[in-house]
Amino acid sequence: MDFPIEKTKMGDDRKFNLSDPKEREEYFKLKCGVEIEKLKEHLNSGHTFIAYLLGKKNSGKGTYSKMFSEVIGAEKIEHLSVGDMVRAIDEEMQDPQKKADLVEFLEKNYRGFYALEDIIKSLEDRDTKSLLPDEIILVLVKREITKRKGKVILLDGFPRNLDQVSFSLFFRDLVDYRDDPDVFVLIDVPMNIINERIKWRRICPKCNASRSLRLLPTSKIGQDEGGYYLICDEANCDGGKMVMKEGDEKGIEPIKDRLLMDEEILRKAYSLYGVPKVLLRNAIPADVARDYVDDYEMTPGYSFETVDGEIKIIEEPWIVADDEGVQCVSLQAAPVVVSMIKQLVEVFKI
C-alpha cells in the first residue's frame, strides 16, 4: 500500500496549540477553510454520503470522526460504531417492547444461513464473546442507517472481516441510501504506534480519565520508587496517581490477531476498484517530515527529569519505527483530518 503524504505545511510563524478547541478552529480555517466551506455547502444542499472507516483497532477512528464532525458540523454527521450497536442490541433484548420491535424488524428483513429463531435465541443469551453472523450484522447496520436518513454516516467497525468487504461493495444498493455515494476511508497507522499508545496509557482510578505518560501527560507529575507517574488534573476529580490498566503492559500482543486481520481488510479494500478511496496516513518518515508538515502538527513525546527536587517535563519530537522499520514521526489528529476533508472534496468533485 502506498499512501501519499499530504502537504499541510504552511511554514509561517503562526503556531497552533491543537489541543485547544478555539485554536484548532483557526487552524482548520487556515489549512483547509475553502474545502470546509465547500463540503458544508454540499451537505447543506441535501447531499450525504456513507464513509467506511477502515483501520486497525486503536488507530484513532473515533478521534478522527469526532474531530471531523466538530469541523463540519455535528448535526450533519453520525459516527455509527458497529461495536456500540451490538452492545445496544444486548440492552434492547432486556426490554420487552424493544425486543418485540427488533424481532418484527428481523422477521421482515433478515435473510441468511441460520434460522431466525436460532439467531434470536443466541441474541437472548449471548455472551459478549460470541460473534453474530455477517447476515445479521448487515441487516442491523441497515436498520441503523435507515434511522439516520439525511445524514453523513461514518461507519466504524464494518466491514470487520474479508467477507464483509465484499458485502460493503453493494451495501449502498442494499440500504437504498438515495443516490448518495459511498467512500472507503483507509487509515494507516503502524503497529508500533498502536503498541506504544497502549503501553504508555494511564488511567485515573477515580474518574477513569485516560492520558499517556509518554504522549499526553497531565500538568502534574509525581515520582516514587516505580518512577514518574501522572497525577489526574481533570476539573471535577480530586486528583490521584494515574495507573496502567491490567494487560496494557503487554501492548498489542493480546490483540495481534485482530490487528493482522484489520491490516488484511485494509489491503483488500485498498485493492478494490470502483469505490472511491480516501487514504490517510498517521506516520511520515522523519527525514522528510519537515518538508510536509509544520512542527506543531507532529505528535510530541514527553519525558521527565528532576532538577533540584523539582520535576521538569521535557518535550521532544517522538520518533517511532513504522512496520518497515523506517523512523517516522506520528501526526496529530488535526492534520490527518485536514487531509480527510481535502480528499473528500476531491473524490466527490465538490
User: Quick one: 120 or 207, whose CB is closer to Zn ion?
Assistant: 207
Nearer to Zn ion, 40 or 241 (CB): 241
Instruction: Tell me the closest approach of the beta carbon of residue 328 to Zn ion, in angstroms.
Output: 32
Q: Which is nearer to Zn ion, 9 or 206 (CB)?
A: 206
Report the C-alpha gap between 57 and 61 in whole angstroms: 8
CA dist., res. 71 & res. 261, Å (int): 31
> Which is nearer to Zn ion, 228 or 270 (by Cβ)?
228
Q: Nearest Cα to 278, choosing from 83, 49, 84?
A: 49
Task: Please report, as a single letter, which amino acid is at residue 305.
Answer: E
Closest CB to Zn ion among residues 117, 238: 238
What is the torsion angle, in degrees rounded to the nearest 10, for the CA atoms of residue 281, residue 287, residue 288 and residue 294?
80
CB of 213 to Zn ion, least distance (A): 15
Strands annotated E in 235-326: 277-281, 283-285, 300-307, 310-317, 319-321
CB of 81 to Zn ion, least distance (A): 25
| Among the listed residues 213, 282, 296, the one whose alpha carbon sits nearest the alpha carbon of residue 24 | 296
Q: Which is nearer to Zn ion, 73 or 240 (CB)?
A: 240
In the bound complex, what is the minimum distance in angstroms from residue 205's beta carbon to Zn ion?
Answer: 8
Cell 520518533 locates to: 319
Contact in structure between 283 and 189 (CB atoms under 8 Å)? yes
State the nearest-atom distance from the C-beta of 320 to Zn ion, in Å.
28
C-beta of 269: minimal distance to Zn ion in Å? 39
Residue placing its CB nearer to Zn ion in the complex, 45 or 236: 236
In whole angstroms, what is the distance from residue 216 CA to residue 57 CA? 20
CB of 240 to Zn ion, least distance (A): 6
Q: Which residues bind Zn ion (CB under 5 A)?
A: 204, 206-207, 209, 232, 234, 237
The cell for 284 is: 511520515
Contact 153, 80 (CB under 8 A): yes
State in angstroms the smallest separation of the CB of 202 from Zn ion.
11
Q: Between residues 232 and 341, which has the closer beta carbon with respect to Zn ion?
A: 232
Sign, CA dihedral 110-112-118-124, equals: negative
Phi/psi class of residue 219: alpha, beta or left (left: φ > 0; alpha: ψ in -120 to 50)?
alpha
User: What CA–CA distance (Å, rounded) separates 295 from 283?
Assistant: 14
Question: How many helices and strands in the chain, by DSSP H and E?
Answer: 11, 14
Please report the DSSP string for 113-130 in residue order: SS-HHHHHHHHHT--TTS
